[in-house]
Amino acid sequence: MGVLIINGGFPKGGRTETLTRYISNEYRFDYIHINEANLPMLNGEEKQWQLPSVTSFIKKVQSSVGIILISPEYHGGMSGALKNTLDFLSREQLAHKPVALIATAGGGKGGINCLNNMRTVMRGFYANVIPKQLVIDPDCFHSETKQLLPEAKNLVHELIQEFEMYIKFLPTIDHTKKTKYS
């Protein structure tokens, strides 16, 4: 499998979805919308990890060569639903994996806290979050067609180029293999 986009936004036809679809179509990346992943609210019960929706989600992340997280900024962080989704994962799927971050925001310089929040959480998985990151706000979209403007597409392209460079350089690590000391 190739790159997997995890879309942590909500409304159908919203800016987060428009952006996700654009990147997925333009670069031929797979994507998961967290609603469609159909994951439960994590409650700590062991049996949740046997649910088909959970095992299938984990497998998709595991087999990807890199992850793009796209989340709206909600009250200074990633969407709560995206955090719940990520809590089903572990280092086994994410350690050293290249991860790119994009926040959608309401304008007025919003979005940076969402990016920082996603970066901190990805650090907890030992993921390899690339330096370049992006905030996409309402000014990045055409007011009538609601599509991404060319300048925003360029910013996305620069991010994807850097992301693909890291994918090329980072060897895929098989965490199912035992280490020297285990």
Ligand X SMILES: Cc1cc2nc3c(=O)[nH]c(=O)nc-3n(C[C@H](O)[C@H](O)[C@H](O)COP(=O)(O)O)c2cc1C
Q: Which residues bind ligand X (CB under 6 A)?
A: 9-11, 14-17, 72-76, 104-106, 110-111
CB of 167 to ligand X, least distance (A): 26
Q: Which is nearer to ligand X, 54 or 105 (CB)?
A: 105
Nearer Cβ to ligand X (98/111)? 111
Smallest distance, Å, CB 54 to ligand X? Answer: 25
If the CB atoms of residues 6 and 54 are measured against ligand X, the closer one turns out to be 6
Residue closer to ligand X by CB (options 16, 128) is: 16
Rounded to a whole number of angstroms, the minimum distance from the CB of residue 181 to ligand X is 44
CB of 43 to ligand X, least distance (A): 23
State in angstroms the smallest separation of the CB of 22 from ligand X.
13
Three-state SS annotation for the chain? CCEEEEECCCCCCCHHHHHHHHHHHHHCCEEEEHHHHCCCCCCCCHHHHHCHHHHHHHHHHHHCCEEEEEEECECCECCHHHHHHHCCCCHHHHCCCEEEEEEECCCCCCCHHHHHHHHHHHHHCCCEEEEEEEEECHHHECCCCCCECHHHHHHHHHHHHHHHHHHHHCCCCCCCCCCCCC
Closer residue to ligand X, CB minimum distance, 105 or 127: 105
